[in-house]
Amino acid sequence: MAPMNGSYLPAGLPAPVPAAGDLDAEHWAAAARHELAVQRCNGCGRHQWGPEWVCHRCRSFDLGWAVVAPGGTIYSWERVWHPVHPALAEACPYVVVLVELPQAESIRMVGNLLGDPTAPVAIGAEVDAVFEDHPDGEPAYTLVQWRLRSAGA
């Protein structure tokens, strides 16, 4: 599937916004700066994703954010053939990946895999984050997508 209007997915999807209470606001702010940020406990140092109000390891409420390397490996994937939103009716297929981040205790993050949606996908393949800006969105936002790392990278 070719990018549509400079973005991977078609127009008409709802803009992502921070969760109630701004739990993930720093993730979206970091993405806008083209940085990959994940939650990190200020008590025990554990990374975690998705954002929570409490540390998964020590149960501390003292959580912060850490910028991590914007790359990882494909842990799992799915080729989507059936649209989950009316705006995606003409966008299928597309590939969604679960990316393991080795620099952050191997937590996993979901995103789209850019490129040919019919190409083979390999578990363990290395990927890099791609920050897709949507300055005209309401509100403006940046998505974190994933691209296979080239052999020369």
The total of structural domains in the chain comes to 1
- Which one, of 70, 74, 71, lies nearest residue 36 by Cα? 70
In this structure, is residue 14 part of a structural domain?
A: no
pLDDT at 70 over 50: yes
Tokens for 36, please give them.
């990959």
- What is the tens place of the pLDDT at every residue in 75-132? 999 999 999 899 888 889 999 999 999 999 999 999 999 999 999 999 999 999 999 9
pLDDT at 18 over 80: no
How many Cβ atoms sit within 10 Å of the Cβ of residue 83? 14
In this structure, is residue 11 part of a structural domain?
A: no
In this structure, is residue 131 part of a structural domain?
A: yes
> Can you tell me the distance from the alpha carbon of 13 to that of 100, in angstroms, rounded to the nearest whole number?
26
CATH code, domain carrying 72: 2.40.50.840
Tokens for 50, please give them.
């998705």
> Can you tell me the distance from the alpha carbon of 93 to that of 77, in angstroms, rounded to the nearest whole number?
13
Kind plus residue range of the DSSP H or E element containing 29: helix 25-32
Hey, what amino acid is at 6?
G
Enter the pTM of the model: 0.88
In this structure, is residue 15 part of a structural domain?
A: no
In this structure, is residue 5 part of a structural domain?
A: no
Kind plus residue range of the DSSP H or E element containing 27: helix 25-32
Q: Please report, for residues 67, 101, 147, the alpha-carbon distance to residue 150 in angstroms, rounded to integers and kept in the order given.
A: 23, 18, 9
In this structure, is residue 72 part of a structural domain?
A: yes
- What is the tens place of the pLDDT at every residue in 78-94? 999 999 899 888 889 99
Tokens for 9, please give them.
């997915």
In this structure, is residue 3 part of a structural domain?
A: no
- What is the tens place of the pLDDT at every residue in 22-48? 899 999 999 999 999 999 999 999 999
Residue 105 sits in which domain range?
20-148
In this structure, is residue 7 part of a structural domain?
A: no
| Per-residue confidence (pLDDT) for residue 1, from 0 to 100 | 40
